[in-house]
């Protein structure tokens, strides 16, 4: 973790307390910090800054001279619709998308999403994965995450209102590459921004019916090359475009 994020209840005037075991372990064993050292910290939902370690105990670390003076980095103007992946992949994807600064994440059902995934205990740990991503990306503002268990009603009734500025759907068999899509958008209007919505399937991608439904709402299908990538590799490859802007 590149900063330690604490809830507002952990702060009192210019002091704070770390009581979460993984954070204490990180300070002791990864940072090898001691009393008098300065830590990079932040308040969840608030500002970033620094604090000095006053004392270290087995179950808590006391901080003093807390200074929260920096705003968190701006969020990407982006909503990611992600077909619910395998549970063991979910943690990495939520962490990565949070660290990259995605503003909204929608986990949706798809034909290739196994029903058992929706009963996974990993879904109850989304806040934990978000915190890991925020501490990695040195951010304090969590993305909004919603769950949509019914694909067709969501696409027909909600998608249009979410897509504020064009949308794309990642599809390895599309005849148009993401690079071609971007060049076309720039040639038609150099001031055009990247799309505000990206749809990414689970392992195996979207089926033709799902691609057609998304296309009917204005999402253009694009590929990111001839290689078939794992979901987490595809997410990072696509979202990297937003970090380069």
- Does residue 41 contact residue 17 with C-beta atoms inside 8 Å? no
pLDDT at 16 over 80: yes
Q: What is the dihedral of CA 143, 19, 26, 88, to 10 degrees?
A: -50
Cβ neighbors of 39 (< 8 A, separation 6 or more) are 4, 27, 31, 33, 50, 51, 52, 53, 63
Instruction: State pLDDT tens for residues 55-73.
Output: 999 999 999 999 999 999 9
Average pLDDT, the chain: 92
Query: pLDDT band for position 174 (50/70/90)?
Result: confident
d(CA 242, CA 239): 6
Helix (H, G, I), strand (E, B) or coil at 201: coil
Domain boundaries, the chain: 4-70, 76-243
Instruction: State pLDDT tens for residues 39-57.
Output: 999 999 999 999 999 999 9
Name the residue with tokens 């068999």.
173
d(CA 122, CA 236): 21
pTM confidence score: 0.92
Instruction: State pLDDT tens for residues 69-125.
Output: 999 999 999 999 999 999 989 999 999 999 999 999 999 999 999 999 999 999 999
- Does residue 201 contact residue 83 with C-beta atoms inside 8 Å? yes
CATH fourth-level superfamily of 4-70: Hypothetical PUA domain-like; domain 1 (2.40.240.20)
**In this structure, is the dihedral angle defined by the CA atoms of residues 13, 17, 20 and 26, taken in order, positive or negative?**
positive
Beta-strand ranges (E) seen in the chain are 4-6, 11-12, 15-18, 38-43, 48-56, 61-70, 76-83, 102-108, 144-148, 167-170, 197-200, 219-222
Task: Name the class of domain 76-243.
Answer: alpha beta
Instruction: State pLDDT tens for residues 24-34.
Output: 999 999 999 99
For 227, the enclosing helix (H) or strand (E) is none
């Amino acid at each position: 973790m590149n900063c330690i994020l604490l809830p507002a209840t952990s702060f009192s005037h210019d002091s704070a307390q770390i009581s979460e075991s993984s954070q204490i372990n990180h300070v002791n064993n990864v940072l090898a910090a001691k009393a008098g050292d300065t830590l990079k910290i932040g308040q969840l939902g608030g500002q970033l800054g620094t604090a000095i370690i006053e004392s270290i105990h087995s179950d808590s670390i006391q901080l003093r001279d807390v200074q929260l003076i920096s705003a968190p980095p701006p969020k990407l103007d982006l909503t990611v619709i992600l077909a619910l992946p395998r549970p063991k992949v979910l943690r990495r994807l939520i962490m990565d998308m949070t660290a990259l600064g995605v503003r909204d994440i929608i986990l949706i059902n798809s034909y290739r999403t196994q029903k058992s995934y929706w009963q996974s205990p990993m879904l109850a740990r989304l806040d934990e994965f978000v915190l890991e991503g925020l501490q990695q990306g040195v951010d304090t503002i969590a993305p909004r995450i919603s769950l949509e268990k019914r694909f067709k009603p969501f696409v027909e009734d909600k998608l249009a209102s979410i897509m504020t500025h064009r949308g794309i759907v990642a599809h390895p068999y599309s005849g148009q590459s993401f690079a071609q899509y971007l060049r076309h958008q720039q040639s038609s209007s150099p001031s055009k921004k990247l799309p505000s919505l990206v749809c990414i399937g689970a392992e195996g991608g979207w089926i033709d019916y799902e691609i057609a439904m998304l296309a009917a709402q204005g999402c253009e299908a694009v590929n990111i090359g001839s290689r078939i990538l794992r979901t987490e590799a595809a997410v990072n490859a696509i979202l990297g475009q937003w970090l380069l802007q």
